[in-house]
Structure 1
Amino acid sequence: MPESKSRVTVHSTLTVVSDKPVKPGKSYPLSVLDHAMGFHTLHIVFYYRYNRLESGDSSDLGRLRESLSEVLSYYPPVTGRLLKDDNGNWEVKYNDAGVRTLKAKVDCSLDEWLKSANGNEERDLTVWEDMPEETKVWSPYRIQMNDFEGGGLAIGLSCPHMQADPTCATTLMKSWTEMYRRIAISHPPFFHPPSLRGRTNPNTNTISVQNYEAKSRMETPTNVKMSTVTFRFSDTIIKKCLLEIQSKCPNATPFDMLAALFWSSVTNAKSPSSKQVSLSIGMDFRKRMHAPLPHGYFGNALHFSSVSTDQSKMEEGGLDYMTQIIHDHLSSIVEEEYWSIIDWLESKKQEGGKHPPPFQMYGPELTCANLEHVSAFAAVLDDKKPVHVSYHIGNVEGEGLILVLPSPEEGFGRTVMVTLPEDQTDKLCKDPAILRLEPTMLISGRL
């Protein structure tokens, strides 16, 4: 069956450089945690009810281009180029090469797209490009401006994951929109990769190290067709659900409950293969440390841990039980676990100080990442908040990925994006436990 024609047409490309030139010869080394994420890419799409032409943005992007040039002056690693140092490790050479920016037209309205597009189609709104062998002239950050018929704009931001995690990339976008609105940048970038490096007295004897060791040896299934569906849950329904389980899980968070719900539902959608079921949980640790990293910390600050239970207990205990074990697991993680992973990665350096090769972090086991803290809906253009924000991680293979994200509705409203083998997403969309929460389906191809 032939593939349908894309509704997104890229019609021009330009390069946006920073307002202020950088001093020649400077470079920015990537941290050990940055190198560990080298297997993945990051792609974010911000949707706005914003008409560029009505807002005075001419064919060369007008105010959007001007404010991007201004904000890039604060982010020299974004405009630089990736090169390897004498040890074979990645660093960003500061220069004025700029950020590649694409302009595209979408052959439908914004509302029609949100209702009818699917997760694979949404990829067309961002740039998906493998890093070339020769990186001297390659722009690692790509921005794609997508205009919808009748107004509406989607801004797609793409980069290698080793240069930014979701928190970092979202803060970059928020800083751009603040510059656009002529207000102060609320979380200026903080560039200091040595702040996360191995200690003088390393500790590699922790549960987290055992988890990463096992992850690094896992084989990833290939040639499995994956698809993505997006569910949006209201503040009212999340509060109601938390109230229902309050007697057994009094301190449960929206993430605890949604991770438990989707872990259970994905397990039910799969063919049973073992009595033990496991979930890898990814979380940002910037603010979970005794000396917290600044909001603007530029780089990767993600930690992955693993929780497991018997499938029989999952079925018997239901949502209450699953929520509680996730909550207890996350509450038990101490700062030493984060540092031990940095120590372990440092201990794996090869001769000459070269960082170890990356492996799949989001997987290959079922993974759920907590991104409910990202300030996606604070990226405001004029007075317009995004109507929707999507996050995609490149090279997600294996059992699948669950992303718990904020919602445009303030309070406990949440968006959940799920990427699974195609046959499982179909089952997930019909799961009574999920449908009981009355989700709105977005970017799922289901009208």
Structure 2
Amino acid sequence: MRNPGTGRKGASAFRTVVESRVERVHTVRAGGADGRRVRLSGYDLLTGPWYTPLTFFYRDTLDGAALRDSLARTLRRYPLLAGRLERDVDGGLSVVCNDAGVRFTEASCPDPMRDYGHGLRAAPVIGSLLREVSAFGVIGRDTPLLKVRLTQMRGGGSVLGVLINHSLADGGSTVAFLESWSREHLGLAWDGPSHDRAVLDALGRPSPDPATRQGRAFLGVGRLRHLTTTLRAGSNKLATVTTRFTAAELAALKAEARRTLPEPGAWASTNDALTAHLWQVLAELRARPADVTEWLGLIVGVQHRLGGALPASYWGNCVSNSWTSRTAGRLRAAPLGALAREVRNCLESNTEDKIRDEIAFLNSYRRKGVSRHVMSVRAPDVATAAVSVNNWSQFPLYRIDLGAGRPFWYEFPDLPIPTVHIAPTPEEDGGRDVYLCLPEADAARVGTAPWRERLHAWNGSAGQVSTGRDGSAGTGSDEDRRDEGAVVGKE
């Protein structure tokens, strides 16, 4: 295993590599297929057929044979994951539920399990990254849509790498599948998901409000512009650094935000305050001219914004995004409460009318056969003038027990655009783990003492990137949990 800071230059300097040797490769099947063809929704088509890698670290050793057995049983209610992607005649995509199977790789590492976490990051443990996540050999081929890699460490402990094709599932649905697998493995009851994309498609309705139509989060562009924007994003050199905000620190941030709210009776959640704080600190880090625009994008789960019209069991991509902006100078000088309220207003702009209009818009492009030309309205800005926030803080990441207890750490991938990823802590004590995916130079700077102090100015002992457990009582009222905000999508 390489030490931190070694290996090739660039993002790998921020992570260690778990060296392993493949022992066996299995194909896991549900054992039956109905052959149906599930046509993917407009939201599904936004992502492209890329894979999202997640890696979970366990102190105790997972049983590979038992995992394959429980995975096969779980796939009976997740037939899309064992299917294959095919192109529709209009350029859309469908999954053929043919039970072609899931790839399950078992590997061994000659090194013992280490104390992975904020002080010791690991690259996604999924084997050859380029081979596993390529989107160019998926459609119309016998390429698994779910890939699992189980790495057994010397002396005990396991690393579980999971890759799901993003065109099938957003972050919430990915974690829902993992939770279903966990419950099946432990012999607990669980409800099956709904894969009926037609239910979502039927909710589309163009908005009668010109402002809603004008403010759509997505737009259609020509093929050349879409390709140029995609290639530009893919050429970015970004790296991810992490830090922990304790429950007490979050409570202090929230108190300051509420103290400085711009109008009486306004409200902001814990995550609103945290998002506002991170947006402001990153604007200070980037130090762009005072009159340029800084954009904040929020990836937003839309299910509960549809007024119960979409079943709670719906499984697939079901996220939108919304944007707000300030000039860099105003952003750096603003009170925290004003920014937190701006975050809240940005979230609340995702009304039922806006989401229904968006579904209708995406469906219209699919009918025209040009779904591949739709992109975010802010796509040209994301590399230099924007940051996107994915909030997974309410997801049960640390309850994925597959027979060896809960994971003690999990890794989120580096993304091609500046992104803030918010997650629960392993102790689920009301704190937050924050993953900052930034240009490599910014990622290096944010790890220095002055910027650690700025990030943690509200913890009472500035300068320490939190990696410990202070035993503080959890923050977050029922009101906070009701609508904490963004949920991961593509960006």
Q: TM-score range by the shorter chain?
A: 0.7 to 0.9
Which residue of structure 1 aligns with residue 434 of structure 2? 416
Which residue of structure 2 aligns with residue 261 of structure 1? 277
Report % sequence identity: 20
Question: In the alignment, is the contact (CA less than 8 A) between 2:73 and 2:184 conserved in 1?
Answer: yes
Q: Distance in 1 between matches of 2:233 and 2:164?
A: 24
- Give the secondary-structure state (helix, strand or coil) at the position aligned to 1:22: coil
- Give the secondary-structure state (helix, strand or coil) at the position aligned to 1:281: strand
Question: In the alignment, is the contact (CA less than 8 A) between 2:18 and 2:122 conserved in 1?
Answer: no
Q: Offset at 1:33?
A: 0.8
Higher mean alpha-carbon deviation, 199-208 vs 80-89, is at 199-208
TM-score for both structures, normalised by structure 2: 0.78
Question: In the alignment, is the contact (CA less than 8 A) between 1:282 and 1:304 conserved in 2?
Answer: yes
Which residue of structure 1 aligns with residue 293 of structure 2? 276
Among 62, 85, 90, the residue aligned to 1:87: 90
Gaps of 5+ in 2: 1-5, 469-491
Q: Do residues 228 (structure 1) and 240 (structure 2) align? A: yes
Which residue of structure 2 aligns with residue 189 of structure 1? 193
Q: Cα–Cα, structure 1 residues 412 and 134, in superposed 2: closer, same or farther, change >3 Å?
A: closer
Q: Do residues 369 (structure 1) and 387 (structure 2) align? A: no
Deviations 1:235-263 (CA, angstroms, capped at 9, x unpaired): 22212322233323463222212211221
Question: In the alignment, is the contact (CA less than 8 A) between 2:149 and 2:160 conserved in 1?
Answer: yes
Question: In the alignment, is the contact (CA less than 8 A) between 2:424 and 2:433 conserved in 1?
Answer: yes
Q: How many residue pairs end up in the alignment?
A: 429
Which residue of structure 2 aligns with residue 30 of structure 1? 40
Deviations 1:360-409 (CA, angstroms, capped at 9, x unpaired): 6995332112222222222223372222233337xx434x1111122223
Q: How does 1:393-408 map to 2 (within 5 A)?
A: 396-398=415-417, 400-408=418-426
Q: Do residues 148 (structure 1) and 153 (structure 2) align? A: yes
Q: Cα–Cα, structure 1 residues 257 and 44, in superposed 2: closer, same or farther, change >3 Å?
A: same
Q: How does 1:424-443 map to 2 (within 5 A)?
A: 424-430=442-448, 431=451, 432-436=453-457, 437=459, 438-440=464-466
- Give the secondary-structure state (helix, strand or coil) at the position aligned to 2:303: coil
Q: Distance in 2 between matches of 1:405 and 1:413?
A: 9
Question: In the alignment, is the contact (CA less than 8 A) between 1:143 and 1:156 conserved in 2?
Answer: yes
Q: Cα–Cα, structure 1 residues 69 and 236, in superposed 2: closer, same or farther, change >3 Å?
A: same
Q: Do residues 21 (structure 1) and 32 (structure 2) align? A: yes
Question: In the alignment, is the contact (CA less than 8 A) between 1:22 and 1:96 conserved in 2?
Answer: yes
Q: Distance in 2 between matches of 1:411 and 1:208?
A: 41
Structure scoring higher RCO (CA < 8 A, sep ≥ 6) equals 1
CA RMSD of aligned residues (A): 3.0
Question: In the alignment, is the contact (CA less than 8 A) between 2:81 and 2:102 conserved in 1?
Answer: yes
Q: How does 1:323-362 map to 2 (within 5 A)?
A: 323-349=340-366, 351=368, 353=369, 355-359=371-375
Question: In the alignment, is the contact (CA less than 8 A) between 2:126 and 2:148 conserved in 1?
Answer: no
- Give the secondary-structure state (helix, strand or coil) at the position aligned to 2:276: helix
Q: Distance in 2 between matches of 1:248 and 1:333?
A: 25
Which residue of structure 2 aligns with residue 245 of structure 1? 257
Gaps of 5+ in 1: 443-447
Q: Offset at 1:357?
A: 3.3
Q: Distance in 1 between matches of 2:50 and 2:22?
A: 27
Among 1, 20, 23, the residue aligned to 1:9: 20
- Give the secondary-structure state (helix, strand or coil) at the position aligned to 1:158: strand
Higher mean alpha-carbon deviation, 84-93 vs 138-147, is at 84-93
